[in-house]
Amino acid sequence: MQVSKQDSRLGFIDIGARGGVSPLAQQYADKLLQVLVEPEAAEAERLRSASENGNKYRVIGSGLAHVDGELLFHETVNPYCSSMLRVNHEVLDQNENLIEHFAFKQSVPVMCHRYDTLYYKDNLPQPHIIKVDVQGFEHQVLQGFGGLLQQTLGIVLETHLYPIYHDQMLFGDIIKYLAGYDLVLRRITNDRSSDLNGDHHFNMDLVEIDAVFTKSRGWASHQPREMVENLNFACALLGAVPNR
């Protein structure tokens, strides 16, 4: 997938794409330039094989981070719990039903890149819409976008209220960081928690949420009509109320 300057589609960067194309993007596939990021080699190859000879989306088979270089990826028994960060058992061992999922399997070296490095080197699309599911490593991934976040219209990410991984930044830290790019919190959800009232995965403690950020209304008030329309599209895709 080569990106043309004349291409009007919006870049959709799906970080932590195990399992395939996000349901968020499926219904709008014709309006998006999709990049799927998955550092686990076998899963990345599976995604490539499903990509209709590379025309459907582009797969990045490395990690995204705040640095360019090799980092350790800590694999757990449940692959959806694996992370660049080590599990914090002081928090997780209070939830007996989770211990087996987060049980350590092995640490493997993974080549990582900043997104802005790949953007300039490999002709990747602008990160207009970003989905992040990286198990506690969200802040470092966002740092790797650098100034490209100035162009970002919306972000949905999984984040935590308690540190289930060592050295992770929590929800409040993410809010502060994204505010520097005119990205404001618009929506909080948890599919396992009705009305955000507990989470059965964590013994009814509310530990993990999905948060939606979009550009602020103040930012939108200074943009041309086309940009505001793109922002409203991003809001619709992410389930946030469009700007008026």
User: pLDDT tens across 81-133, in order?
Assistant: 999 999 999 888 877 778 888 999 999 999 999 999 999 999 999 999 999 99
Check which CATH number belongs to the domain holding 180 and give it: 3.40.50.150
pTM of the model: 0.93
Q: Does residue 104 sit within a domain?
A: yes
**Between 189 and 194, the higher pLDDT residue:** 189
Domain with 129 in it: 10-238
* pLDDT value, residue 53: 55
Q: Does residue 244 sit within a domain?
A: no
pLDDT grade for 56, boundaries at 50, 70 and 90: confident
3-class secondary structure, 14: strand
Name 80's Cβ contacts closer than 8 Å, sequence gap at least 6: 18, 135
Percent of the chain whose pLDDT exceeds 90: 69
Number of domains in the chain: 1
Q: Strands, DSSP E only, in the chain?
A: 10-15, 32-37, 58-60, 63-64, 69-76, 104-113, 129-132, 154-160, 183-189, 208-215
Q: Do 109 and 72 contact (CB within 8 A), yes or no?
A: yes
Q: Does residue 150 sit within a domain?
A: yes
Q: Does residue 176 sit within a domain?
A: yes
3-class secondary structure, 4: coil
Q: Does residue 181 sit within a domain?
A: yes
Report d(CA 244, CA 240) in Å as an integer. 12
* pLDDT value, residue 5: 53
Mean of the pLDDT values across residues 207-221?
A: 95
* pLDDT value, residue 133: 94
* pLDDT value, residue 70: 97
Percent of the chain whose pLDDT exceeds 70: 95
| Average pLDDT across the chain, whole number | 91
Q: Does residue 171 sit within a domain?
A: yes
The CA-based angle 84-45-64, given to 5 degrees, is 30
Using one digit for the tens of pLDDT, what is the confidence trace for 127-182?
Answer: 999 999 999 999 999 999 999 999 999 999 999 999 999 999 999 999 999 999 99
How is residue 79 annotated by DSSP? G
* pLDDT value, residue 184: 97
Q: Does residue 80 sit within a domain?
A: yes
Mean of the pLDDT values across residues 182-191?
A: 95
The CA-based angle 35-172-94, given to 5 degrees, is 95
| Residue 4 pLDDT greater than 80, yes or no | no
pLDDT grade for 10, boundaries at 50, 70 and 90: very high
| Residue 2 pLDDT greater than 70, yes or no | no
Report d(CA 244, CA 228) in Å as an integer. 9
What does each C-alpha distance from 64 to 118, 132, 190 come to in angstroms? 10, 10, 24
pLDDT grade for 244, boundaries at 50, 70 and 90: low
Q: Does residue 208 sit within a domain?
A: yes
| Residue 58 pLDDT greater than 80, yes or no | yes
